[in-house]
């Protein structure tokens, strides 16, 4: 349902942007621009803005999803949720150092 609503918003924004860019190019001096410049503007910029809108919806939805999942986990296992959340928060901080520890222990199998 949320993806459907986000896609509808994206289509509406895309349609509005195409219309705005088209009307803006009609007002430009004909000698200052080429015909392909307006098409490039419409295609590239509208796709970039559409991608940003998709990512924006994924961002706010992920915060709600994380909060809901922590609450459900707490309802299921109680106070032990604190340990699980601490491990999840601590792992990304340890990850960049992991290859440094294991590089010296790797044996060449050639």
pLDDT tens digits for 76-93?
A: 999 999 998 998 888 777
Looking at residue 43, its pLDDT comes to: 75
Confidence category of residue 65, pLDDT binned at 50, 70, 90: very high
37 has a pLDDT exceeding 70: no
Report if residue 96 sits inside a domain.
Answer: no
Report if residue 11 sits inside a domain.
Answer: yes
Residue 9 · residue 49 · CB < 8 Å = no
Report if residue 34 sits inside a domain.
Answer: yes
Residue 17 · residue 49 · CB < 8 Å = yes
Looking at residue 104, its pLDDT comes to: 65
Report if residue 85 sits inside a domain.
Answer: no
Report if residue 16 sits inside a domain.
Answer: yes
d(CA 18, CA 94): 46
Report if residue 95 sits inside a domain.
Answer: no
Report if residue 86 sits inside a domain.
Answer: no
The alpha-helical segments, DSSP class H, found in 78-110 are 81-94, 98-103
Report if residue 101 sits inside a domain.
Answer: no
Residue 58 structural domain: 2-77
DSSP-based three-state secondary structure for 57: helix
Structural domain count of the chain: 1
């Amino acid at each position: 349902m949320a993806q459907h609503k986000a896609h509808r918003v994206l289509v509406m924004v895309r349609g509005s942007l195409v219309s705005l860019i088209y009307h803006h190019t009609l007002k430009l001096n004909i000698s200052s621009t080429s015909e392909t410049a307006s098409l490039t503007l419409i295609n590239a910029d509208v796709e970039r803005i559409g991608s940003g809108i998709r990512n924006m919806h994924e961002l706010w939805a992920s915060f709600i999803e994380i909060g809901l999942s922590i609450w459900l986990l707490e309802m299921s296992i109680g106070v032990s949720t604190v340990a699980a959340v601490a491990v999840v928060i601590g792992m990304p901080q340890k990850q960049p150092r992991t290859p440094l520890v294991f590089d010296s222990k790797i044996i060449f199998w050639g």
